[in-house]
Amino acid sequence: MEHASIVVLAKAIIMATSGLGPGIGIGLLVARAMEAIGRNPEASGKIFVPMLLGAAFAEAIAIYALVVVFTLK
């Protein structure tokens, strides 16, 4: 294998693995929030905004990983 193809493969592996954590985290976060809203619909206003903030922070981790991958040579 050429050096360039090894770098491309390494970037693909890093991108795939760095997307797993935030994906699982966001899925669990939304599932628990929907479960809580289902149990107590009156609390949906107090649950929805923190859920969105948590999802945004988890997604930021994936974006940081994407930026790191693109800065690799």
Report CA 1 to chain centroid distance, whole Å: 32
- The model's confidence at residue 65, banded by pLDDT at 50, 70 and 90, is confident
pLDDT at 3: 74
Residue pair 27/54 in contact by the 8 Å Cβ criterion: no
3-state SS assignment for residue 72: coil
- The model's confidence at residue 1, banded by pLDDT at 50, 70 and 90, is low
- The model's confidence at residue 66, banded by pLDDT at 50, 70 and 90, is confident
pLDDT at 61: 87
Q: For the chain, state the CA radius of gyration.
A: 17
7-63 pLDDT, tens per residue? 888 888 888 888 888 889 999 999 999 999 999 999 999 999 999 999 999 889 888
3-state secondary structure 15-68: HHHHHHHHHHHHHHHHHHHHHHHHHCHHHHHHHHHHHHHHHHHHHHHHHHHHHH
CATH number of the 3-71 domain: 1.20.20.10
Residue pair 36/47 in contact by the 8 Å Cβ criterion: yes
